[in-house]
Amino acid sequence: MSSAGASDLRATALTGRARRRLARRHRAEKRFRAYGFGAIAIALGILMLLFASIVIGGWGAFFRSEATLEIRFDAERIDPDGLRKPDVLATGDYGGLVRDALERLFPDVAGRRAKRALRRLMSRGAAYDLQKRVLDNPALIGQSASIPLPLSDEADLYVKGRISPDLPETERTLSDRQIAWLDALRERGRIHTGFNPGFFSSGDSREPELAGIGGALVGSLMTLFVALILCFPLGVAAAVYLEELAPETRWTRLVEVNINNLAAVPSVIFGVLGLAIFLGTFGLPRSAPLVGGLVLSLRTLPIIIIASRASLAAVPPSIRSAAMAIGASPIQVVAHHVVPNALPGILTGTIIGMAQALGETAPLLMIGMVAFVVDIPTGITDPATVLPVQIYLWADSPERAFVEKTAGAIIVLLAFLVSMNGTAVWLRQRFEKRT
Amino acid sequence: MTSIRPIRTFRAIALASVLPLTLLLAPIDAAARDQIRIVGSSTVFPFSTTVAERFGRTTAFKTPIVESTGSGGGLKLFCAGPGDDTPDIANASRRIKRSEVELCARNGVRDIVEVRIGFDGIVVARSKVNPVLPLTRKQLFLALARRVPVAGGMVENPNRTWKEVDPGLPDREIEVLGPPPTSGTRDAFVELAMEGGAKQIPMLATLAKQDKKAFKTAAHAIREDGAYIEAGENDNLIVQKLEANPNAFGIFGFSFLNQNVDRIEASPIDGVEPTFENIAAGRYPISRSLYFYLKKSHVGRVPGLREYIAEFTSERAVGPDGYLADKGLIPLPEADRRTVRKAASALEPLHL
């Protein structure tokens, strides 16, 4: 209907009642739109709130504070017999070096309690740091150097402004004295806060300032890799068979129903299964990404099969008919035409399935991946943990500084997820253009 | 134009589907372990991991793997058998039960070494905005039990406010956030606070003498009408909820109180404040011992076990100035520490 015709209609044929009705319908239309807009606005707002609170809470995890100390590598403390043997050097009293340096900076600190309070400003990691330097370069022994060393978790929180000095002394974990020392160090320009590479490269630790997600990140990658190489080919092959080749019998219908049911099974069940079969019957190692990957592939397989079947079914039948018409065999039809056309959808389904697997913790509890693992895994049978488990373990730790680390790890997990979903979008667009 | 690529894709998929099979068939290295494996209590987890980390950094041995499975779950895994595929050590926030020792024996785990590492206090705390409210175990029982004695009979707990529990307490609704039944903290709270409170009520005290089982059922049941809220295993969550709801009390471990002194404060129980000193001296009524259990047969088979025990029982770990005290572990009295150290280094087997 042309607009001229419409206005004619409105001018001539509409009675008052009809016009009111029309106006009401238009208002309803507007309201409907407003509801939809409102729903999206609320969803986005909550999402923004979530992101903002996580980023504000976790941003500090990417930074750590260090104090530069004049360390004298005293041979007495670290290599008393002077033989420079690595196993002797490894057990040297590096904590003592840090203590000496602090006491030289604050010579008027006396008494055991006060010295202990002073020592607690520095992280236990400071000693590990010095140990590593000496093992790498034994020539340091007997020399002096100014070395930036990590502060303890509480001192770090104070430097970052997360512990207020205005609170009464009994209500914070740092004493007035410790705060005065930190302020003195800051005035002398010895305290710096900088990017914390250890957060990405180290494994877990009980000291919040030393804890990193490196081990969990590698564990997640290995677990997902195992799950992917298992369930992508199996899933696609199963989907192709069921959708394209299988005869419609009672047996195949039963399989279909079961696959759909399997997708809805709570994931912890797969963990129990993994415990019984992979650990119990096959005797695979506990806490290993190999077993984690096997369990998660059970979880993901039905999702991939369902997504793949849907995208195979969406390939127009005309393509199949055309291929048949020029003499292609059923295998050729599937391999040359149907699967390539369905590939974008298959890949999207796979990546979304993988993204779900990335967030799983429940099944991994059963097979021992909810564990404290310091060493970064080097193979798929090494003990490892994964990102969501690391978040769970940190969230459960009493030290206040782990709150920041938890939010930091959530940021990394979200970034991982967003980049996976981004890959899905990119792959789909790329393949859609080609075919 | 699309003819070449799809074939490649399909071949790649076909090839890739063979890969998983080879992966499954690949022999898994089943040689003896070179890394200690520990399972068990989530309460002992922070201490066990601290020792493990330090042990890994200061010795040539690998850092032990510590799993947080809960005391019961850990002991079940521990008792599954004597083989290398079972854990070497189980942490527990309570003593091993006779039934668990029997399970172990049935599965061929005979010589178990018990190591007591220290105390943990369970605190009842509230947001700092309120004044401190001293409580007694009797009041806690009357506020939280499912059935309480009224006029000679047991009835469903009628107390809605603290004032109804005891006229000396404020006229505020009873709201307590605590751990669920799966938690070791809950077990200990029920055993120490609820049972202790029930014994102070004459009627239940006589019941305890006549019928122990009936007394336990009465003393251990916590009300389920909303006054006691199960807040999950995560103690941090309870602390946050206390901040949001200043009227509510929370039940959790001492180390969480220690880390949150700016937000919450604990009620003295029976007149004793839950401080480091009071718990260490055994004055605070709701405190329990923490343990770990070791398979003697694994010593010598799994490298580093002896050294790990030496580290865990050393004065620099569990002493009053030790690094575990920094993490909230409350040390045993000195004489006990010495006995434990001696028994542990001699690997003396457990006798229940």
Q: Reduce the DSSP state of residue A183 to 3 states and report it.
A: helix
Q: Which residues contact A54 (CB under 8 A, 6 or more apart)?
A: A407, A410, A411, A414
Provide the pLDDT confidence category of residue B142 given band limits of 50, 70 and 90.
Answer: very high
Task: Name the residue with tokens 């079961």.
Answer: A258
**Nearest CB to B6; choose among A236, A335, A373:** A335
User: Rounded mean pLDDT of chain B?
Assistant: 86
Can you name the CATH fold of B121-281?
Answer: D-Maltodextrin-Binding Protein; domain 2 (3.40.190)
In angstroms, the separation between the Cα of residue B101 and the nearest Cα of chain A is 22
Q: Is the dihedral of CA B92, B94, B100, B101 positive or negative?
A: positive
pLDDT at A310: 94
Q: Point out the residue among B23, B60, B321 whose CB comes nearest to the CB of A87.
A: B60
Residue of chain A with shortest Cα separation from B128? A171
Polymer length of chain B? 352
Q: Calculate mean pLDDT across residues A239-245.
A: 91
As a whole number, mean pLDDT of residues B143-147 equals 92
**Gap between the Cα atoms of A19 and A32, Å rounded:** 20
What per-residue confidence (pLDDT) applies to B17? 56
Domain limits, chain B: 37-120+288-345, 121-281
pLDDT tens-digit readout, B174-225:
999 988 876 778 888 998 999 999 988 888 888 888 888 888 888 889 998 8
Closest-CA residue to A394 (of B38, B39, B243, B236): B236
Kindly report the backbone phi and psi dihedral angles of residue B124, in degrees, each rounded to the nearest multiple of 5, phi listed first.
-115, 110
Does residue A141 carry a pLDDT above 70?
A: yes
User: Are B124 and B181 spatial neighbours (Cβ–Cβ below 8 Å)?
Assistant: no
Mean pLDDT (whole number) for A390-401: 88
The tokens describing B164, both together, are 């109804």
Residue in A179, A172, A113 with CA at minimum distance from that of residue A151? A179
Best CA proximity match to B115, nearest among B348, B328, B344: B344
* Amino acid A13: pLDDT: 64
pLDDT of residue B3: 42
DSSP B173: B
The SS3 call for residue A261 is helix
Pairwise CA distance, residues A253 & A206, whole Å: 52
- Candidates B343, B328, B346; CA nearest to B46 is B328
Quick one: pLDDT at residue B1?
39
Nearest to B262 among A128, A131, A167 (CB): A167
Task: Nearest by CB to A335, from B7, B48, B68: name it.
Answer: B7
Q: Radius of gyration over alpha carbons of chain A, in Å?
A: 31
Q: Which of A396, A404, A435 to mutate to test the interface with B (most CBs of B within 10 A)?
A: A396
**Domains by residue range for chain A, with CATH:** 62-196 (no CATH), 214-434 (1.10.3720.10)
Distance from CA of A303 to the nearest CA of B (A): 17
* Res. B30 pLDDT band, cuts 50 70 90: very low
Q: Which of B79, B124, B84, B111 is nearest to B97 (CA)?
A: B79
Which chain A residues in 351-410 lie under 8 Å from chain B, judged by CB atoms? Answer: 365, 368, 370-375, 381, 383, 393, 395-400, 403
Which of the four pLDDT bands, split at 50, 70 and 90, describes residue A10? Answer: low
Angle at which helices B98-106 and B71-78 cross, to 10°: 30
B229 bridge partner residues: B177
Work out the average pLDDT over A36-62: 94
Write down the pLDDT at residue A1: 44
- Burial class from Cβ neighbours inside 10 Å (0-12, 13-18, 19+) for residue A30 reads exposed
Confidence at B69, pLDDT banded by 50, 70, 90: confident
Which helix (H) or strand (E) segment holds residue B178: the answer is: strand B176-178
Q: How confident is the model at residue B320 (pLDDT cuts 50, 70, 90)?
A: confident
| CATH entry 3.40.50.300 includes domain B37-120+288-345 | no
- With contact defined as beta carbons under 8 Å apart, do B87 and B109 qualify? no
Q: What is the pLDDT of residue B11?
A: 59
Residue of B nearest to A95 (CA): B58
Q: Which among B39, B233, B259 is the nearest to A398, CB-wise? A: B259
Per-residue pLDDT at B8: 57
* Greater model confidence, B238 or B1: B238
| Positive or negative torsion for Cα A287, A288, A294, A300 | positive
Cβ contact (<8 Å) for A171 and B62? no
What is the percent of chain B with per-residue pLDDT over 90, rounded to a whole number?
Answer: 40
Beta partners for B150? B153
Of A191 and A80, the structure prediction assigns the larger pLDDT to A191
Residue A90 pLDDT: 79
Portion of chain A with pLDDT greater than 90, in percent: 54
**Overall average pLDDT of the A28-57 stretch:** 95
Q: Render pLDDT for A295-354 as a digit per residue (tens, 0 to 9).
A: 999 999 999 999 999 999 999 999 999 999 999 998 899 989 999 899 888 998 999 899
**Is the distance from CB of A170 to CB of A153 less than 8 angstroms?**
no
pLDDT digits (tens, 9 = 90+) for B115-133: 999 998 899 999 988 888 9
Show residues of chain A in contact with B39, CB under 8 Å.
368
A336 part of contact set with chain B, CB < 8 Å: yes
pLDDT confidence of residue B7: 52
Q: Are B260 and A171 in contact (CB under 8 A)?
A: no
- Count residue pairs from A and B with Cβ separation < 8 A: 140
**What average pLDDT does this structure show over A165-180?**
84
Contacts with A357 (C-beta within 8 Å, 6 or more apart), sequence order: A223, A224, A227, A296, A297, A299, A300
Q: Given an 8 Å threshold on Cβ–Cβ distance, is B45 in contact with A372?
A: yes
Q: Which residues are CB-contacts of A317 (< 8 A; sequence separation ≥ 6)?
A: none
CB atoms within 10 A of CB A166: 5
Query: What band does B13 get if pLDDT is binned at 50, 70 and 90?
Result: low
Instruction: Give dist(CA A29, CA A31) in Å, integer.
Output: 5
Helical H runs in B183-318?
184-189, 195-198, 202-210, 212-220, 235-244, 254-259, 276-280, 305-313, 315-318
Band (pLDDT 50/70/90 cuts) for residue A7 is low
Q: Do domains B37-120+288-345 and B121-281 have the same CATH topology?
A: yes
Q: Are A72 and A101 in contact (CB under 8 A)?
A: yes
The per-residue pLDDT for A408 is 94
To the nearest whole Å, the CA of A176 is away from the closest chain B CA by 14
In a mutational test of the A interface, the residue from B53, B55, B107, B123 whose CB has the highest number of chain A CBs within 10 Å is B53
Residue A283 dihedral angles phi and psi, to the nearest 5°:
65, 35
Residues of B with Cβ-Cβ distance to A120 under 8 angstroms: 326
The amino acid sitting at A418 is V
Does B31 score more than 60 pLDDT? no
Q: What is the mean pLDDT of residues A405-418?
A: 93
Contacts of A234 in chain B (CB under 8 A): 17, 20
Contacts of A290 in chain B (CB under 8 A): 28
The DSSP element (H or E) to which B31 belongs, if any, is: none
User: Do residue A398 and residue B253 have CB atoms under 8 angstroms apart?
Assistant: yes
Among B92, B79, B112, smallest CA distance to B295 is for B112
User: Which of A236, A370, A435 lies closest to B13 in CB terms?
Assistant: A236
Task: Look at residue B19 in the predicted model and tell me its pLDDT.
Answer: 57
